[in-house]
Structure 1
Amino acid sequence: MILLFKILFQGFKTDKEFQFLFVFIILLLIGANIFYTTIEGWSIIDALYFSVMTMATIGYGDLTPTTDVSKIFTIIYAFISIGTFVAFTAKYVQIMLMNHQSRQKLFSKNQP
C-alpha cells in the first residue's frame, strides 16, 4: 500500500500527463457522483461504487441506471472514463517500472 502511494506521489510530482489524468479521473468520479445521486437518487457510496465499477469495466450489474437520461449519461461516461482509466493505469505502470529500473541500476552499482 505504501508503494502505491509512493508511486502516485512520484508521478504527481514529476509527470504532467500523470497529473492531468489523475485530476481528470477525480473530476469524472465527482461529476458521475453528482449525476447519479441527483438523477438516480443513489447514495454517495452507491454512486461512487457504480462509477468506479463502470470506469474499471467490472460492471457487476447490481446497480443499473433506470432513466433514459441516466442510460445516455452512462454510455458517454463509460467511453470517456474507461479510456482515461486505461491511460492512467498505463502511465502508473510506466512510472512504477522506471522506478524499479532506477533501483536496479543503483543496486547493481553498489555490488562489488
Structure 2
Amino acid sequence: MIFIRTLLLFLKDREYRGLLMASAFIVTVGTVVYHYVEGWNWLDSLYFSVIALTTIGFGDFAPQTDLGKAFTIVYIIVGVGLILAFINTVYLHFSRFRSNNDEK
C-alpha cells in the first residue's frame, strides 16, 4: 500500500517523471547500442547497460569493439550524471514528503 502510494506521488511530480523517462531512455539507448555494436543478446545488453550506469561493474561483460568502448565512455559520463540527478530528486521528494507529514 505504501509502495503504491509513493509511486503515485512520484509520478505526479513533474521533475521525477521527467528523470524517470530520461533514465528509461538512456537504458534503452544503451541496450540497443550494445546489442548491435557488441552483438550481445538483448538481456545481456540490458544487463550491461544497468550495471554500467550504476557503476557496479562486475566485469563479466566488457565492450570489445572500439566503437563499443567509445560509446561506453560517453554513456557512463552522461548516465552517471543522470542517475545522480535521479537519486537526488528521490531524496528531495522524500524530504518534502517527510517534512509535510511532520507538520501535520
The equivalent of 2:32 in structure 1 is 34
The equivalent of 1:74 in structure 2 is 72
Question: Which runs of 5 or more residues in structure 2 are unaligned?
Answer: none
The equivalent of 1:59 in structure 2 is 57
Q: Which runs of 4+ in 1 moved over 2 A?
A: 5-9
CA contact (8 A) 1:8 1:92 kept: no
User: SS of the residue aligned with 1:54?
Assistant: helix
The equivalent of 1:50 in structure 2 is 48
- For 1:89 and 1:7, how far apart are their aligned partners in 2? 15
Residues 38, 93 of structure 1: alpha-carbon distance in 2 compared, 3 angstrom cutoff: same
Deviation at 1:57, TM superposition (A): 1.1
CA contact (8 A) 1:7 1:95 kept: no
Give TM-score scaled by structure 1 length: 0.83
Q: Which has the larger radius of gyration?
A: 1
Question: Which runs of 5 or more residues in structure 1 are unaligned?
Answer: 107-112
User: SS of the residue aligned with 2:36?
Assistant: helix
The equivalent of 2:8 in structure 1 is 9
Amino acid at match of 2:29: G
- For 1:2 and 1:34, how far apart are their aligned partners in 2? 34
Aligned length: 104
Larger deviation, residues 19-28 vs 74-83: 19-28
